[in-house]
């Protein structure tokens, strides 16, 4: 779950309604829970919301349920170089963000800015934040959104760290992928954080894709995006995917065995909180994000989906039966695959959109 205090993105409020962007992922305060998720709201300066979150975690633990936080350390709510001054920009713009020589922001996150994760000041901030949520709030683990950004070097980083290959005398450009990222090293060897569960979304919006190769210290798990893509292709009947599908069922040893990891380091999923839902996968061959006024430019175009013969929710009885069968096939694949399955509520209830 995502609970950091986030911007309500007033610039995204519809001019035709009072609805607000509820998606989150534009963090303002990394140490505070989002008060509108709490029945206490902002009462007692937010302290009641903190206590309510602790109660939630305690009650979950009583029932044998672990609590994972979805954390976003790849960007903040301050937008690009023309964005508002809300926090870090006012403290030290060039320390907290990846800034190009002329002052524009690097945008590996797709959200206007990129948090300068491997700067010494920033990585200490991130580690302190994670430790707070473990020691004070008692969460059991973290899923890191666009975690590949956390492997990118800050400005003028030592080139000897690129993929473990020394290049003496050279300096790296901002954002170069590092073989042993200082931040990942700090997290992996921290006496508190090394004992919680760590899950990386091992890619970013800048094209860095590290599924199977994310720096892991043998303790990091990964969102297995290759599992998602292969299973979608196989279930819809695309030729040439039977071998890759068999690997997926066995915990993707082709990705994780050589690096000293195990099947449980693969987080298998077909659908997630963003992108096509399970019902969408069997209802639409193409995305139709028209209602939000973005002219269908937002969202992923490469979904490996199949509409079972008719595009859209209104279809013949035969097509609807086929769609239900395909959804059961997806669910079965997820259940019989080693090792860790990730489901979403809308997977279970066949929610579209």
Q: Which residues of 18-37 are buried (b: 16+ CB within 10 A; e: fewer)?
A: eeebeebbbbbbbebbbbeb
pLDDT for the residue 326: 97
Q: What is the mean pLDDT of the chain?
A: 87
Catalytic residue among 52, 66, 170, 201: 201
Q: What is the mean pLDDT of residues 143-149?
A: 97
Q: Specify if 306 maps to a domain.
A: no
Q: Report the share of the chain in percent with pLDDT over 90.
A: 67
State yes or no: pLDDT of 75 exceeds 60.
Answer: yes
CATH of the domain at 57: 3.20.20.80
Residue 279 lies in a domain: no
Active-site annotation holds for 145: yes
Residues near 274 by Cβ (< 8 Å), separated by ≥ 6?
none
Confidence at residue 10, expressed as pLDDT on a 0 to 100 scale:
43
User: Would residue 154 count as lying in a domain?
Assistant: yes
pLDDT band (50, 70, 90) for residue 169:
very low
pLDDT at 163 over 60: no
pLDDT at 166 over 50: no
Tens of pLDDT, residue by residue over 79-124, are 999 999 999 999 999 999 999 888 899 999 999 999 999 999 999 9
Predicted model pTM: 0.89
Instruction: Let me know if residue 176 belongs to a domain.
Output: yes
**For residue 325, which of 239, 264, 263, 237 has the smallest C-alpha distance?**
237
Band (198; pLDDT cuts 50, 70, 90): very high
| Residue 269 maps to a domain | yes
Phi, psi of 340 (to 5 degrees): -105, 120
Most trustworthy range by pLDDT among 199-203, 296-300, 347-351: 199-203
Q: Is residue 296 part of a domain?
A: no
| Residue 294 within a domain | no
Active-site residue (options: 128, 136, 145, 348)? 145
- Please report whether residue 343 resides in a domain: no
* Residue 154 CB contacts under 8 Å (≥ 6 apart), including other chains: 98, 116, 117, 118, 119, 122, 174
Range of the domain at 128: 4-273
Give the count of domains, the chain. 1
Instruction: Name the nearest CA neighbour of 80 among 119, 122, 109.
Output: 109
What gap in Å lies between CA 327 and CA 333, rounded to an integer? 10
Largest pairwise CA distance in the chain: 68
- C-alpha dihedral over 84, 87, 93, 97, to 10 degrees? -90
pLDDT at 35: 84
In this prediction, residues 324-338 reach a mean pLDDT of: 94
Q: Are 158 and 216 in contact (CB under 8 A)?
A: no
């Amino acid at each position: 779950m995502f609970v950091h205090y986030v911007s309500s993105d007033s610039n995204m409020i519809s001019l035709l309604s009072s609805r607000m962007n509820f998606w989150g992922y534009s963090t303002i305060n990394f140490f505070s829970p989002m008060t509108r998720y709490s029945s206490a709201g902002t009462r007692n300066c937010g302290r009641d919301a903190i206590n309510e979150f602790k109660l939630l975690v305690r009650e979950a633990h009583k029932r044998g349920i672990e609590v994972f936080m979805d954390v976003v350390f790849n960007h903040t709510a301050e937008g690009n170089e023309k964005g508002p001054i809300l926090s870090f920009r006012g403290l030290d713009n060039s320390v907290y963000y990846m800034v190009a020589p002329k002052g524009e922001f690097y945008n590996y996150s797709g959200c206007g800015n990129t948090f300068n994760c491997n700067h010494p000041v920033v990585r200490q901030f991130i580690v302190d934040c994670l430790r707070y949520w473990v020691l004070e709030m008692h969460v059991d683990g973290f899923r890191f959104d666009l975690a590949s950004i956390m492997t990118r070097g800050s400005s003028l980083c030592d080139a000897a760290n690129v993929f473990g290959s020394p290049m003496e005398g050279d300096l790296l450009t901002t954002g170069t992928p590092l073989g042993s990222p200082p931040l990942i090293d700090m997290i992996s060897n921290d006496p508190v954080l090394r004992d919680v569960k760590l899950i990386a979304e091992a890619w970013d919006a800048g094209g860095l894709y590290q599924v199977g190769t994310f720096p892991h210290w043998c303790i990091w798990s990964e969102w297995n995006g290759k599992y998602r893509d292969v299973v979608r292709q196989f279930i819809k009947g695309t030729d040439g995917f039977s071998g890759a599908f068999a690997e997926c069922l066995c915990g993707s040893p082709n990705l994780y065995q050589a690096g000293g990891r195990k099947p449980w380091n693969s987080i298998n999923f077909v659908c997630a909180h963003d992108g096509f839902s399970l019902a969408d996968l069997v209802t639409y061959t193409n995305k139709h994000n028209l209602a939000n006024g973005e002219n269908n430019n937002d969202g992923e175009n490469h979904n490996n989906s199949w509409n079972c013969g008719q595009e859209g929710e209104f279809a013949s009885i035969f097509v609807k039966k086929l769609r239900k069968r395909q959804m059961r096939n997806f669910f079965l694949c997820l259940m019989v695959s080693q090792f860790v399955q990730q489901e979403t509520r809308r997977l279970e209830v066949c929610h579209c959109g």
